[in-house]
Every structure is written in structure tokens, then in C-alpha cells.
Structure 1
Amino acid sequence: MAKSEAAKSGLLTDLEDTVLMIEGISVDVVSDIVTNIIRGPLIEYTQEACEQYGIPLTSGVVSGPLWYQTNKKWDELYVQLPTVDDERLLLVPKEIVRQDMDYDLAKYYRHYILEHLRKQELAANSDLVQILRSGKKKGQPKVYIKDLKEKYGTGKPAVVHQTLANPELLRAYKEEHSNPSKPLTHRTIAEISGSETPDWDKLLDNVVSLPPGNNSAHHYENAVEALLSALMYPALAHPRAQHEIHDGRKRIDITYSNMGRGSFFEWLSRHYSSAHIFFECKNYGKELDNPALDQIAGRFSPSRGQVGFIVCRELADPALFAKRCRDTAKDHRGYVMALDDSDLAALVDTAKTDTLGFFDLALLRAKFNFLVS
């Protein structure tokens, strides 16, 4: 990389640019580089996930290269990681996984560089310009791709040469690809990994089949998290169970990071404090009372977020509780919505009929609209 013309010229500004201009660097190599750079956070994520889901960890595992931004150095540590056949494993949040990079050498070369050169040849009326002799476009001038390739060359050396001469081409390409591609759907992940898509009926039944009461409270919380993590993907990510705040003096049953991703939650993040979304699980066989509402409101803050849900079994008077939630919102104590068994069933029905990969959370949007109406 350091010896390449693209690097020496200052043409490279992002790691992804190497896929377009550096020989020997492909999507796989960039993936390996990124993994090394973020290995430290990935180890922390892996340890948290293993603790939450009961995956055994092996002590004394060599971490692999770790990058320290403070002193600009690499180092290795002995850490705890899951292992299979004595090989360490890193877990990766599925919402950041892609099948391929947005950057594509062939597309940049064909649709930006060659297209620019074609227009250039046409404007100069060069020897490459030919007049069509037949067909619907008879009489029109044309420059053939094969002739452009023969004159200007192919591969990364040609790409670097033309980009140096026309840097606006790379700027245009990067601007068009500035927004990250969508996360993989449940269906795509299943196809790639040879696994099953979420069994919506089973996930729901694991929640609603539990008997109400404190004896099933822990199982209820776990079942709710499993269902919500599938339903809310990819908008809500990185669930943390029994998340401690205020130095452990308060706990939140389930805390999600709000990743937005083109859903109701993305809109929410643009207009309300909702960096995190909180869920309190109440396996009650009775009407929710004001203390339950006050409890979750007491977990809110402008920095953590001020949007949350109470997941419960059944509401004796859903309209009355919704009004209580609206009162809380009007008092500027945060935005709380209730999801009972019937609401979860409605969300599952929507997920089962989804054909686009990510379904619209219209039910949640309606509940929030009531709070601010």
C-alpha cells in the first residue's frame, strides 16, 4: 500500500479506496484489516454476548493483534474467548455484517471511468467514434467499450491513472456510495449460513405460554428478549439484560441500542432522545399500576434516552393505561408504551407476512402518536 502510486499521490483517503486502486487488496483483505483494527471492541462484545446467552468462555486465550489508538501501537493480551477445536472465536453483531462491500472495482471502472472516457472521445470526435449503420439508432455516433479498454487499459493501474487525471470521478463514486447498505435480512442470513429463519410462532409461544407470576419472571424476561431481538432487528441491537445504571443502584430489564435503520426507530432518533430503547418486563396477572410506570420513567435521561416499553401479559383497561402514559409524556418524564400479549401477537403476524425483509412497525408508531397527540 505504502509503495503504490495511489497512496503516494494522496489519492487514498479511506480504507475502502484500496479495493479500487491497490493491487492484491480485495474485499476479504479489507475485512481482515477492519477486524484487526476493531478486535478490542469485538472481544468485549463477544464476552458480553457469551455471558448473556450462557456460552462458555476459555481463559488464557491469545487475543490476536489489538490496536491502541492512544499510543498508536499494536499489542496482544491473554483474554477470555469462546473456542472450538482450540481455535478462538469472535462474535460479530449481525447488523454490521454484509455479504459484500459497496465499493466495486468493476462498477467504478465501467460506469464512471469508461463512461467519462466515452464522453471525452465523443466530444473530440476521435478515431474511436463510429457511426451506427443500422438499427433504431442508425446514424448516431458510438464509442465501443472494447475500443476504450484497448486504448486506455484495464485493471487497477488504469483506474489509478485515470483517477489521478480526473479525481472528480472518485468523488462522485464515493458520494453515491456514502450511505451504508442495508443490513442482511433474517432470510438472507439463513440462506448464507444454512440456518433457519426465526420461528415466530415458537418465539411468541415461549412468551405467552408462561404462567404469570414471580416464579416465571426470569424465564419471561429471557423469552421476551428473544422475541424482541428478532422482531426489532435491525433497528434495535445489542440487547443488554439487567443493565445497571446509577452505579448499580437501578437496573433496566432490557436495554437496546437504537440503530434506526429506516424504521420507526430511525424517525424517533431524529426527533426525540432515544439513543437507547428500554424495556421493562412485567409478568403480571393483574392490571399495571402507576409504580410500574414511574419505575421505567425513572430510568430515563436525556443522554441515555427517554423512550421505553412495558411488556406485560394483559391490560384490564388498555385505553386507561395509554392515557396514563400520555400524562407521563405531557409531564416531560419520557415516552412509555405498553405491549401486552395481544400486541406481541400482532407484531408476529406482521413479521410472518413480511415480504420485504424488514417490516414496518406501524403498531409502535400508532402507540407513540397517541402519546404526543
Structure 2
Amino acid sequence: MAIIRPRLTDYHGLYVAQHQVDFAIPFLEEDIPLYLDPFMLWRSPSQQDQMFHTGLVNAFNHLGTLAKAGRDNEAVEALIAASECDEVGLGSSAKRQGKRIGQAKAEEIISLFKRIPAYHQNGFRHFEEIQFFVEGISKDRISDIACSFLKSVLIDFTMDQCDQLGIPRSQCDVSDVYNYRENKFESLRGASLPINPVDGTPIILVPKRWLRFGPWINYEDYFEKYCPQDEISHTPEELTRVKVLNYNRDHYGVVESYIAAKERNAADCANDPLFSQLPIVSAKRKLATIKKLPTGKIGQADIQYEDAIGQLLPSLLYPHLDFAQEQARTDSGVSIRDLIFYNTRAQPFLDEIFNDYGSRQITMEMKNVAAIEREHIDQVNRYLANELGRFGVIITRNPLKRAEMTRTIDLWSGQRKAVIALTDVDIEQMVEIFDSKQRDPLDVITKKYVEFRRLCP
């Protein structure tokens, strides 16, 4: 059964919410928009994480040892192998596939061990510093290098998590796994990992506690707060990134001071969740915006309504419903926007609509109209096919009229499809519950469904 943005857990029939597991649930067809930040291991109170960071940095610094011994080609080859880690599926790729760095870029990075005295003598304390000297090194590259050197650790973590949740594992080969005894990358034969059903490749899970939207040590932060811009160029418009990188190579003390400051403020460094709820104040503002909007399309009121609902509902329904995506579709020439949620089956109501309607995902269609008409009900009816199950929600401004309510009851009687409507009043009640924290906003949807079923024969 096809679903929108399928995840590993959904494919195997495991209906768990993201907040319930210790890893970022991977998508099967695209990357997770997060990155492994090595600094999270360094600042962790866990001695095990600190040990992993030490191993990671030692492995990277071994590249410098090779270079200083005249074995530059080996160092470059190892760095190229480490520069991409498709198995973890982190980043912004739409196909879970990345591209390794080239020979010239790898040589430029390895040259830092010879060019900068501090690295020549002592190596790196945080290898993320390479982004201050080499053009084209961004957060995805830092993350991939870290994942590559930690791949054996991540494989063990993946096996443990799969066993805890019951995710099937299969025998497979994994390329470029770092051997800490031999200090080189090797292929691991007969690994036992979950397999991506889309392309047959192995999947490696990553702990949530190591993930951020960007590294704690990053070029943008350095440039804004620490870089002596006036010393590099007295003309702001001529201050290019290349000039900054060249300056850094000859003035390592500036970078060293920045790193020391980031270490002092390590307590402020926290992992980033895949989804963050709106604060209560923002939720109330979104509600106020919705209530002021006229119905219809004048002044793009329909787009403003959809945008506000699209930002509000995922926060109100979290964590019981993980947000999948906002999706646009066309029905008989009419553009329609939906909100798609993963059904985690975390509550009896969610379990009921899964069992009764086959809803692995829940679709909510947004309609900024004064009154829902029969054609709107028919649009939802056509959309509630086997792929998404037979339960749908219309988010609109006012209650259904008698004729349209009768139409939804007839759909249930004839096809066992359930269509309920959430109005401005319902959304306001959900925000009030969200504010009070006494109950769950999902209770409002549950209540609407119970009322609907009472009307059905």
C-alpha cells in the first residue's frame, strides 16, 4: 500500500511516533533534513559519546600522519571515501544519494596538515574547522565525514534499535567501513541491517541526540561574530568567502579563538528535533489570523487560510500525529491543498480509524469557503482510495449544511468512508486545549468523529 513520504517504520507496519524512538526515522525515498554534528559527541555528558568523538578525530588526524609520512595518495583516497555516507540518509538529497568530493578538494583539505603549523604539530581537536580554510565544505560534508568514520558504531546502534522495535534485518555488504585497528576503510561483508525496499540498499540509523540542522562550529557564525572583516577588506562588497578563507590560513589564531569560545558555550548546544511545535503565543496569533480572514479567494484569503492552518495543525496534533507533508493536488481542474499525517496509532481513536478504514495516513483537506458544497464532499470521496484509507477531514469555516452532512452519512452507509469537518470553532477549541495543556487537541477530532458515527445507521 503506497503512502506519502514512506518511512522505514511505516513500511514494516510499525506505527511509532518520532518522539518515541531514539533515532531519526529514515525516509525511504529522500534524505532526512538533519545532520550529524561531531560537536554533539564532544559536549555530551556520556563518556561513551566522548570516546566516539576521540576515535573520530583520531581517525581524521591519521590522514595527517599519512601525509606527513609522504603517503598523501593514501590520505586523499581515504578522505574521498569518507566524504559521502548514503546509508544514513541525512541531508537534503531527494534520492538518498550524494556525491563524493573530488581529488583536488581532498588534496586541499589534506594540505592543511602541512600548511597550518597547529595542525601539523597537534592535529585537529574539531575537524569541522576545515570549513574555515577550504571552499565548498558545508554542513552535509561535515556530517558525512563524521558518519563515515563512525559507521561501525552506527551499524551496532542500528542492529540494537532494530531488535528492540522488531525491524527486520537482512544480510548485506556495506562499503567503506572504517577499521580502527588498521586505520583504513574496508568493505564489511555479511552485515545485518535493514534494507531499503525502494532500491535494495542498506539503511543505517543515527541517534537523535547527535543531530542538528547545522554544526555548532560553522562558517556563517564565525563570519558574523568573530571574523575581523575590516582587516581582510576595507571595502565590504569585496569581502568574499575566498578572501576570508585565505586570511584564516595565515591567521590561525582567529579561528582558534572562535573554537575556544564555542567550547566555552557548549552548554547552549542542543540537538534539533525533526519537528518543533509552535509556541502557544504563535498558535494564538495563527488562530487570530484565521478568524479575521474572509471566506473565498479575494485578496488571496484562501492561500492565507491554508498557510495558517498548515502551520497550526501540525503543532496542535503533535506528538500523536507526525506531520508528513503539505501536498497540492488537482481535482477536475481545481487546485487543492492537503495536510498529510502519519497515523501512529498512539491512541484508541487512531487505532480505530486504522482498523476500520485502513488509514495508515490521515488526510486533511483545507477549504476556505462560506459553505461546503456537494462537489467538495465528492472531491474528498474520490481521494479516499486504498492508498490513504477511507477516513478524511475537511477543515473549513462553518458547519456542514444538512444536505452535505447527509451526503457524508450516505458515504459511510454505502462505502464505509468517514468524512468529518473541523470548523473555526473546533480549531479555536483545539488552540484553547493546547494552551491549557489539560487535555489533547486530538480529542476535538475524536469528539467530531463520535458525533458523526452517532448519526450513521
User: What's the TM-score bracket when you normalise by the shorter of the two chains?
Assistant: 0.3 to 0.5
Higher relative contact order (CA 8 A, sep 6+): 2
TM-score (norm 2): 0.40
Higher share in helix = 2
TM-score w.r.t. the length of structure 1 is: 0.48
